Amino acid sequence: MKKSIKKVFAIALAASMSLGSYWSVLGANFTDLDSTNSYHSSIEKIGLDIINGYLNENGVRTARPDSPITREEFAAYIGRAFNYNSIGGLDDALALFPDSTAVQDWAKEYMIPSVAFGIITGKSGVVAGANVIDPKGTITRQEAITMLARAAGYASAAESFETQYTDIASVADYALDSVKALEERGIFFLNHKVEPAKAITRAEAAYFVYNVVRSGKNLVITEAKSYSGGSYEDVIVSPSVGNGEVTLTDVEINGELVVQGGGENSIILAGRTKIKRAVTISSMQFPVSIKNKTDIKLPTLSVMSNKNVSLQGLFSDVKIVEGKKSDVFSTPVINAVVNLVDATVSKLVGSASVVKDIVIGGKSAVSIVVIAAANTKVTVSTESTVETANVGAENVTLQFDNNSVKTAINVLDKVKELLSILDSEGNASKSVTTNTITEKEFEVSTEIVEEVAPEATATPDVTATLAPGATATPVPTTQPGGLVPPPYKPPVDVINDKVVAIKDIINRIPDTDVRSHFSVLDNRTIRILDGLTVEELSTVITEEFFNVLAEDVKSITITVGDAHIGSWDGDNIHGSVIKDAVMNNAAILSARKIDIQILVTDTQAKTDVDATFYIEFYSPATPSPKPTIAPTPVPADDPWQDKVEAISSAIQGLDSSLKGKVSFDGKRDIITTGVNTEQLENVAKTMFDSLSDGVDVLELSTEDGVFATCTYPITPEKISEARRKMPVPFDYIELKVTRNNDEPTVFKVTMQ
C-alpha cells in the first residue's frame, strides 16, 4: 500500500503542477497580478469568460485587482458565472428604478436577469425616496456577498454555526445570513474581518465567485442536460436552465441541492443520487418540478418560490416558507401552487403567504400537514391520505372526502398564544371564526404538532367530534417545542447499517478485478489488497464512504497508525472534510491500518456506545507450490459428528456465487477453488460460526502459524476479533477445537 499511496500523491502533485501551468498561461493575459496573493490568483483561475479585464491599445491586458468594482461589473461577474445572458423573455425590471438609464448597454444582459431573479433589489437613494440601482457606484463587501449568496440560493447557515468573523456585529441585518452562509461553506475574507461597509476589490470579488462556481467543489448547472456520477458539496441549478430538464443519476451531494430554474419536468433524481443536507427551491421566474425516482428519501425541502412547484417521490419534511424579507429584499406575494403527485411526505408545513393552494394529489401519502398561513386552500384527492391535519391560521379551507384525512385539528388559539403570525402586530381576536373545513367539522383543542411552537408544553388531548364512519388518529406524543420524536433505533442497528452500506459501496464497483481487492468483514474491518491505482482506490475511499460512517453519530475520531488525525462532532462532521484530513496527512504514506472510532447515542438508555471500524492494507502472499493434502484421519466413532453436520449444512447454505467452488469431504477438510478474497473470508466465517458453539478452545492458524486463540465462553465478539487478525490470503487455515473430554480435532480450509 505504501507504494500505491506514494503513487497517489505523485499523481496529485503532477496534476497540481499541470493545473498550475495551465493557470499560469491563462494568468499571463494579465500583467498586474501577484501570484502569491490568494485573491489575485482567483482572477487567474476563474477564466476570461468571467473576467476579461482591460485591454489597452498595445494589447496589454490588466485586471486592476486592487481597484474597487462597480455594481454593474459585479453583476456581470455573477451573470457570466451563472449564464444569465442566455436567458430571454424577461421583462425589463430595470425600468422600476429611476436611474436605470445609467446602466451601460453591455451590462444590461446581466443586470436585467439579476433584478428579475431578486439578486439586485436596489439601495436607498435620493430620488423621491425610491430605491436606486446605482450601476456605476462601488459595491460594498456585504452587498457583494449578499448578491452572490442570492445567486447561489444560499438562504442561511445552520443555526448551530458559529462565525469566526471578529466584526460580525457590524454587518447589516439584510446581509447577515448571506455572510454566514458563505462562511459556513469555507468562503470568507481571509483576515476574518468582514469590514462590511468597505468597497470590495475586483480580486476579492473574483475570489468569492470562483469559490462558489469554479473551484470544482460545487456543481453549477447552467443548461438543461443529464449528469451521471460525481461527488459535490452543493449542486446549484441556475435560472439559465429555464424550462429545461436536468437529470442527476448516481450523484452524491454532501451539502445542498438548490433549484432556481426548470419546468414541468425540471429536476429528475435517479439511480443512487443522494442529498445529505437539504433541498431548496427558490425559483423567481420558472415553475419547478422535482421527481425523486430513487428509493432514498430526500432531506428537508424548503419551497421559497413564487412559481408553481410539483413534487413526486419520497420526501421527509416539505416546508413552504417566506423568502427573506428586509428593507433591501422582499419576495413578491402571488398565488403559487404546491402540488404533490404520488409523493410520500413525512411532514408538510405551509407557513408562507406566497403559496395559496396546496394540492395533495395522485396517490400521495402525508403523515402530518401543518397550515400556519392565512387564506390557504388545501385539497386532498380521493386516492391520497393525510394522517393528521393541524390548522392554525385564519380562513383556511381544507377540502377532502370522508376517508382521505384521518384527523383534523383546529389549533388556532394555541398558535395565536405562542406565535405572532396572525397579523402584522402579532395579535388576533379570540373570536376568530373556526377555519372552514368542508364535508367534516371538528371541535378540538390540542397542541400544534410542529416547531412553530418553540416553547410549547403538552396539553391533554381532547377527542374530536367526528362525522359518522370516520376514525380519529391520536396526535403523536411531542417533545418540548412540539417536535415529534424520531423512531428509536438501537446503536447496534446504526452500526450494522454502516457495515451494510459500506458493502454496498464496494458491490457497486463496476470492475470485478478492482472489486476483488476490497472486502468487508462483519467485525467492521475493511481490507484492501495492495496494488491499486489512485482511480481504483478512490472507488471506495470517497466522501460517500466517510459520510456513511459519520451519519447518525455523535462523534468520529480517526487514527492512522500511531498518529491522531482528528476528531469531529455535531455539525462539524462532514465526509469531505474527514476524507481530506486523512488523505492529506503524511502518516498515510506508511500506514498499514486506519482506525475510525464512532460514538452513537442510545436515546432510550441515554448512554453513548462506541465502535471502531478498521481499514487494513495488506500485500498478496508470495505464490508458492500448493501442498499435497492428505485427508485428516477420523475415528470410526466420530465424537465431532455434530460439528461435521453443522459445517455440511452451512456449506449448503452458502451464497450462490460459491456454488461449485467449495467442497466438503464430510469429515474435516473443506477445499476452495477459484475464490476471491471476500469469498474466502465468507467461507472462513462459516467455519468459525459452525465450530464455536459449545467448544472450550478454538485455536486458529495458517501456514504462518497460530494467529488467534479463543477460550470459553466463545462469544461473537471474540470470533470477530479473531477474524480481524486473520491473514488473507492464505494457503490453508486450520481450526483446532477442544471440548469436554473429547480428543481435540482439526478442521481445515484449503485454497486450490
Least confident range from 175-179, 463-467, 593-597, 624-628: namely 463-467
Query: Do 421 and 415 meet the contact criterion of CB atoms below 8 Å apart?
Result: yes
Counted residue by residue, the chain has a size of 752
Show the CA angle centred on residue 86, arms to residues 109 and 150, nearest 5°.
70
C-alpha of 614 from chain center:
24
pTM check: above 0.85: no
Burial 163-194 (b: 16+ CB within 10 A, else e): bebeebeebbebbbbbbbbbbbbebbbeeeeb
Give the sheet arrangement for strand 231-232, strand by strand.
231-232, 252-253, 274-275
Return the closest-CA partner of residue 380 out of 345, 410, 418. 345
- CA nearest 694: which of 633, 642, 739, 658? 739
pLDDT of the residue at 93: 75
Q: State how far the Cα of 309 lies from the Cα of 355, in Å rounded to an integer.
A: 10
Edge-to-edge strands of the sheet including 732-738? 662-664, 669-672, 745-751, 732-738, 697-702, 705-711
CB atoms within 10 A of CB 429: 10
Q: Which residue has the cell 417521490?
A: 313
Section 165-187 average pLDDT: 92
Mean pLDDT of 550-579: 80
Distance CA 41, CA 24 (A): 9
What confidence tens digit (pLDDT) does each residue in 724-743 have? 677 666 677 888 888 776 67
Q: 289's torsion region: left (phi>0), alpha (psi -120 to 50) or beta?
A: beta
* Average pLDDT of span 547-559: 84
Please state, in angstroms and rounded to a whole number, the distance separating the CA atoms of residues 544 and 576: 8
Closest CA to 384 of 450, 350, 339: 339
Q: What is the pLDDT of residue 265?
A: 67
What's the confidence (pLDDT) of residue 604? 65
| Span 339-350, pLDDT tens digits | 999 999 988 888
The pLDDT confidence band at residue 435, using thresholds 50, 70 and 90, is very low
Best-predicted range by mean pLDDT (156-160, 235-239, 391-395, 512-516): 235-239
Q: Which residue has the higher pLDDT, 409 or 338?
A: 338
Give 710-735 as a 3 state SS string: EECCCCHHHHHHHHHHCCCCCCEEEE
